[in-house]
Chain A
Amino acid sequence: MEDNRVIKTKDVNFYYGKFRALTDISMDFEKNRVTALIGPSGCGKSTLLRLLNRMNDLIDGTRVEGEVLFEGMNIYDPDVDPVEIRRRIGMVFQKPNPFPKSIFNNITYGPRLAGLSDRVELEALAEQSLKQAVLWDEVKDILGQSAMMLSGGQQQRLCIARALAMKPDVLLMDEPTSALDPISTAKIEELIQDLKRQYTIIIVTHNMQQAARISDRTGFFYIGKLIEYSATEKIFTRPDIKQTEDYITGRFG
C-alpha cells in the first residue's frame, strides 16, 4: 500500500507574503489514479497543485512550511533542484499556452533541454506524444507550422502532448478544460481516462460534474483547508461533512 502513494504532503502551510493560503494540508496521492481537487475560487486548490512541482517558487514573497514528499523525498529540501522535479512532474495549465513555435518544436522543447538531440528519436517521441494526446491524426502533416494556428482544444491537447514528451511520472492539470468548448472538453476528459493507466493525474477543476466523471478520489477545499478527502463516489453521494454536501449540491460556491 505504501508504494502506491506517489506524493504525500505533510502539514503543509503556504503563505503569499503574510496571507496564509493553505493550512495544515496532509494528503496522499495514489499512483495511476485521477485525483480531483475541488472547491470554490480562492480555496487554495490551485495553490496546492502548483506546490507539487514547485511552480510557486516563481512567485516572489511566497513561503512553504511542512513537507511535500515525492517518492519519499522532500521536494522542498534545499538540496533538491526544482528543475529536476519539474521534469518528473509535468503540468498542464488553465489556458492553453503553446509556445509561438512550430508544433514539432513545442513538443521537443523539453526533451531537447534535457539533452536529447537525435533527430530520429525526437521525431519518434513527437509522434508518440501526439498519439498519446490523440492529436497525431490532426497535425501529422503540419508539424512544421505554428502551434498558434491550432484551435483552443487542439492547443490544449498539444500542451498535454508537450508535457507527456518529458515522460513524467505525475501530470498536474490546473482546470485544463475551463477555457474550452464542450466537445474539446469531452475529448480531453476521455484522454485523461486513458492516461491514468500510465500516469498519476492530479486535476484541479471548477466543474463538479467533471470531477465526478473522471476522478477516482476527490478532495474538497474551503478557505485554504482540506475539508474532506475520499473516494469520488463517496464525496458525491454521501459526504461525511455538511460543508462538502452544501458545496456539491450547489448551496454555496
Chain B
Amino acid sequence: MTRRLKEIIIKRIFFLFACVSILILGLIVAFLFREGIPIFRIVSVRDFLLGGEWYPTFDPPAFGIWPLIVGSFIVTFLSTFIAVPLGVLSAVYISEVAPRPMKEILKPLIELLAGIPSVVLGFFGMVVLAPWLQDTFDLPTGLNIVNASLMLAVMAIPTISSIAEDALYAVPREFKEASYALGATKSETILKVIIPSALSGISTAVILGMARAIGETMVVLMVAGGAAAIPESLFDSVRPMPASIAAEMGEAPFRSEHYHALFATGIVLFLLTLAFNLIADYVSHKFRETGSGTL
C-alpha cells in the first residue's frame, strides 16, 4: 500500500467518524420535528406559543405553553443574574489575583461543582432549601422560582467560571505589561484592561451558562413547584418547559395530541438553546476579529 493511499484512507475514516455525530444530531432533530409538528394541525403556532393555558389532559384540552416559556425564562434570567457575578469574579480571582497554590486548589474545586449530578442538587433544593424558604418567608411552598434559580445558578457557575477564566487567561501578557508600565495598579489593570479585553469570552461564558440553565431538567422538575401559570411574584411556583416535558411524557399516550404538544415544546426549547449557542458563537467571533475597539 502506498503512503498516499494510506493517507487518503485515514482521512476518510476521520471524516466518517465526524459524520456520525452530525448524522445522529440530524436524526434527532428530524424526529423532534416529525413528532412535534402534528400539534399545529390542532392549534395555531401563535396560540401554542402565546396561549396562556396549559391543560393538556382536560376536555377539551388547552395547549398554550406561554406560562411554561415564561417559567423557563424567569428561572434562567434570575439564575444568570446570580451566577454571573459569582462565576466571573471567581474567574478573575483565579486567573489574576490568587497566588499559585490557591489557584491550584480553587480551580479543580469549582470544576468539581460541575460534576455534582443535578438530581443531587434538586434533592438539596427540596430537602434543605425549600423548608428554609418556606419558614423564613412564610410561604405556602418553598418549591418556587427563587429556589429553582438558586439551584440553577449553582449549576451555571462552573460553566461561566471556567470559560471566563480561559478568556481572561488568553489576554496577552503584553497588555498587562503595557498597563503596569503606564503606572496602573493591579486592580486598575484588571478592571480597565484585562476584563475589557476578555469581554467577548466572558459574554460567551454567560450565554453558554444561560443555555445550560434553560435546558436543565432535573433541578427545575424537582424544585420549581410545577405550577403551569404565569407567576406573580418570585416566590410563586413555575413549570419550566423541560420540567413539563419530563413530568408529562410518561403519562401522555403515544402519538396523542398531548404527546405531540410535548414534542413541540421540545422544538421550542431546542430552538432557544440553538439561538443561545449561535449568539455565543457570533459574539466570540465578532470581537476576536475587530478587537473591542471602542471600549
Give the docked Cα–Cα distance between A145 and B295 (Å).
Answer: 10
When A97-B175, A113-B188 are in contact, do A102 and B293 touch as well, CB less than 8 Å?
yes
Residue pair B293, A159 in contact (C-beta under 8 Å)? no
What 0/1 readout, one digit per residue, does chain A (200-234) give for beta carbons within 8 Å of chain B? 00000000000000000000000000000000000
Give the docked Cα–Cα distance between A89 and B261 (Å).
Answer: 69
What 0/1 readout, one digit per residue, does chain A (130-143) give for beta carbons within 8 Å of chain B? 00000000000000
Contact of A100 among B179, B180, B197 (CB under 8 A): B197
The answer to whether the Cβ of A15 comes within 8 Å of any Cβ in the partner chain is no
Residue pair B184, A99 in contact (C-beta under 8 Å)? no
Residues of chain B in range 142-179 having any CB-CB distance to chain A below 8 Å: 172, 174-179
CB distance from A91 to the nearest CB of B (A): 4
Give the docked Cα–Cα distance between A5 and B291 (Å).
Answer: 42
A sample of 20 cross-chain residue pairs with beta-carbon separation below 8 angstroms, ordered by A number, consists of: A53-B181, A87-B182, A90-B181, A97-B175, A99-B178, A99-B179, A100-B292, A100-B293, A102-B293, A102-B294, A105-B295, A109-B184, A109-B192, A110-B184, A114-B183, A146-B291, A146-B292, A149-B293, A159-B178, A163-B182
5 more contacts with CB within 8 A, not counting A98-B178, A148-B291, are A90-B181, A97-B175, A100-B293, A162-B182, A163-B181
Residues of chain A in range 71-96 having any CB-CB distance to chain B below 8 Å: 83-84, 86-87, 90-91, 93, 95
The answer to whether the Cβ of B100 comes within 8 Å of any Cβ in the partner chain is yes
Q: Sort A-B residue pairs by CB-CB distance and give the 9 closest, nearest first.
A: A146-B293, A110-B182, A87-B183, A97-B174, A100-B291, A148-B291, A91-B181, A86-B183, A97-B178
The answer to whether the Cβ of B233 comes within 8 Å of any Cβ in the partner chain is no
The answer to whether the Cβ of A55 comes within 8 Å of any Cβ in the partner chain is yes
Give the docked Cα–Cα distance between A84 and B179 (Å).
Answer: 13
Residues of A within 8 A of B177 (CB): 55, 58, 91, 93, 97
Number of interface residues of A (CB under 8 A): 33
Residue pair B293, A148 in contact (C-beta under 8 Å)? yes
The answer to whether the Cβ of A144 comes within 8 Å of any Cβ in the partner chain is yes
Residues of B within 8 A of A113 (CB): 182-184, 188, 192
Residues of B within 8 A of A95 (CB): 174
The answer to whether the Cβ of B82 comes within 8 Å of any Cβ in the partner chain is no
Residues of chain B in range 172-228 having any CB-CB distance to chain A below 8 Å: 172, 174-185, 188, 192-193, 196-197
Residues of A within 8 A of B100 (CB): 60
Residues of A within 8 A of B174 (CB): 93, 95, 97
Most buried by A among B172, B178, B183: B183
CB distance from A178 to the nearest CB of B (A): 14
Interface size class of B (residues with CB under 8 A): 20 to 34
Interface of B is mostly: helix
Chain A positions near chain B (C-beta within 8 angstroms): 53, 55, 58, 60, 83-84, 86-87, 90-91, 93, 95, 97-102, 105, 109-110, 113-114, 144-149, 159, 162-163, 166
When A97-B174, A99-B175 are in contact, do A83 and B192 touch as well, CB less than 8 Å?
no
Which chain B residue has the least Cβ–Cβ distance from A94? B174
CB distance from A148 to the nearest CB of B (A): 4
Give the docked Cα–Cα distance between A101 and B290 (Å).
Answer: 11
Give the docked Cα–Cα distance between A91 and B177 (Å).
Answer: 9
Residues of A within 8 A of B172 (CB): 97
Contact of B179 among A109, A147, A159 (CB under 8 A): A109
When A58-B177, A146-B294 are in contact, do A100 and B182 touch as well, CB less than 8 Å?
no
Give the docked Cα–Cα distance between A159 and B182 (Å).
Answer: 10
CB distance from A166 to the nearest CB of B (A): 6
Residue pair A109, B180 in contact (C-beta under 8 Å)? no
Give the docked Cα–Cα distance between A109 and B177 (Å).
Answer: 13
Give the docked Cα–Cα distance between A166 and B181 (Å).
Answer: 10
Residues of chain B in range 259-295 having any CB-CB distance to chain A below 8 Å: 290-295
Contact of A86 among B175, B181, B290, B295 (CB under 8 A): B181
Contact of A146 among B175, B176, B183, B290 (CB under 8 A): B290
Residue pair A110, B183 in contact (C-beta under 8 Å)? yes
Residues of B within 8 A of A86 (CB): 180-183
Give the docked Cα–Cα distance between A118 and B199 (Å).
Answer: 27
Contact of A83 among B176, B183, B193, B290 (CB under 8 A): B183
CB distance from A32 to the nearest CB of B (A): 21
Give the docked Cα–Cα distance between A98 and B181 (Å).
Answer: 12
Give the docked Cα–Cα distance between A84 and B174 (Å).
Answer: 20
Give the docked Cα–Cα distance between A99 and B175 (Å).
Answer: 6
CB distance from B94 to the nearest CB of A (A): 16
Residues of B within 8 A of A87 (CB): 182-183
Residues of B within 8 A of A145 (CB): 293
Residues of A within 8 A of B179 (CB): 99, 109
Which chain A residue has the least Cβ–Cβ distance from B199? A100
